[in-house]
Amino acid sequence: MRALARCWLGLALTLAGCGVHERPTKSEAETESATTDCTECDCCSMPTRSTLLHRSDETKQDAKRIELMTVKFDPFMKDIKAQTGRVVCLYQWAGNHAPSRKHLPDVIALQKKFAIDGLVCMTLSMDMGESRKETLKYLRNVNCNLVNYLPAETESVEAWDAIFGCCGIPSVVIYGRNGKQAASFMMTDAPIDLASIEKALVKQLDAK
């Protein structure tokens, strides 16, 4: 009889314990969260051009995520073509050139003002060598959440100028919704004419 009672007692204890689940410890939960939530961080690989193109649609972003991409001409033009259906405003400048730095915030303001209408602003820095680090630092300081390019050193600055039809910095090149160059502004000898640039942008944005 006692043996039977002990058997029933053991069965009852077993059934009572089968529905109990241990909660993960705090450290285990944090580890799991860190594993699943990490998409891009300083420890991960550099973001791709397509990722940065997507980021250009964001109105705000962490300054640490702003990058300066070294690019050759052909991949660069593919990125321009990828924006077909939108209007592209390309700002050519240099981080070590004071007039260029002065007007970069104006280009950022254009992006914020007309992004909803289909504008994509990009920058092309003509800095070379060690000045790249200072340029990236400045881009982050002004929160330049655009798509920021730097020509590969294997390609000359003059070659890029010839392709765009602009000589010198700062300058602006506008591409229409059809992906073709629609206007260019060279501002080497005169202050940047923001009113004329905005007028040209509105003209292209209205051509839907």
Q: How far apart are CA 11 and CA 144, in angstroms?
A: 68
Q: Quote the Cα angle for 21-23-28, to 5°.
A: 135
pLDDT at 50: 52
- Asked if 153 and 160 touch (Cβ cutoff 8 Å), the reply is no
Burial of 170 (0-12, 13-18, 19+ CB in 10 A): buried
SS3 160: helix
- Domains of the chain, residue spans: 61-206
Alpha-carbon distances, residue 135 vs 95, 98, 120, 138, 139 (angstroms) = 5, 12, 21, 5, 6
- DSSP state, residue 186: E
SS3 102: helix
The set of residues, in sequence order, having a beta carbon less than 8 Å from that of 186 and lying 6+ positions away, is 166, 167, 168, 171
pLDDT at 153: 78
CATH class, domain 61-206, is alpha beta
Helix locations, 82-193, DSSP H: 98-114, 131-141, 157-164
Helix locations, 18-122, DSSP H: 26-37, 49-55, 73-81, 98-114
pLDDT per residue rounded down to tens, the chain (208 residues)? 444 445 444 544 444 444 444 444 444 444 443 333 333 333 334 445 555 555 444 445 566 689 889 888 889 989 999 999 999 999 999 888 888 888 899 999 999 999 999 999 999 998 876 678 888 999 999 999 999 999 887 777 677 766 676 667 888 999 999 999 999 888 665 666 888 999 999 999 998 7
pLDDT at 74: 86
